[in-house]
Amino acid sequence: MRKIAWFVISITLALFVLVNADVACAVKQDPPVAPDFNLKDLKGNNITLSSYKGKVLVLNFWATWCAPCRAEIPDFIEVYDEYKNKGLEILGVSVDEISADQVQKFVERNRMNYPVAMATSDLFRNYPPPQGIPTTLIIDRNGKIQYKKVGMMSKQELIDLFNRFTQ
């Protein structure tokens, strides 16, 4: 009976670590071309991947209820302020199940200075729903997915990745 209990505890602990671990990976060799998308931001503006051509896009899947998502927002705001004129763009994609108006209130309260759109089923056809949130993709100036991270991004990580993929 003790062996079974330890086995269950070990498996539970291993699953907990896996679920809560940050997972980051640079795409190797020939990075895939990011599929185009057509979204409306919370202000009603059309947003497409092709509108970001020539810029580095940070595509961030997040939710208002997600503590790590909320924790990374101030860093995203700072980096966007500092690097927007150098070719960095950030697009927050909310996976919330609340209304766009409620997400907009959250965006305003948190002074998010980058565009935010609601995730759609069309988007998830080309970009599978994230395994966890936050999930961030870095799409280079040529529209290729260069990097993916499941977990919180720091200000320094964003800056380093931007610098790496603007070369």
Distance, in Å, from the CA atom of 33 to the CA atom of 143, rounded to the nearest integer, reads 6
Cβ atoms of 60 and 127 closer than 8 Å: no
Cβ atoms within 10 Å, residue 19: 9
Catalytic residue at 69?
no
Query: Which residue shows structure tokens 């700072």?
Result: 78
Asked if the bond preceding 134 is cis, omega within 30° of 0, the reply is yes
Contact (Cβ atoms closer than 8 angstroms) between residue 134 and residue 61:
yes
Cα(152)–Cα(112) distance, rounded to whole angstroms? 17
Among candidate residues 32, 4, 14, 17, the one with its CA nearest the CA of residue 137: 32
| DSSP secondary structure of 64-81 | TT-HHHHHHHHHHHHHHH
Active-site hit among 34, 57, 58, 66: 66
Between CA 85 and CA 59 the distance in angstroms is 18
Q: Give me the active site residues, please.
A: 66
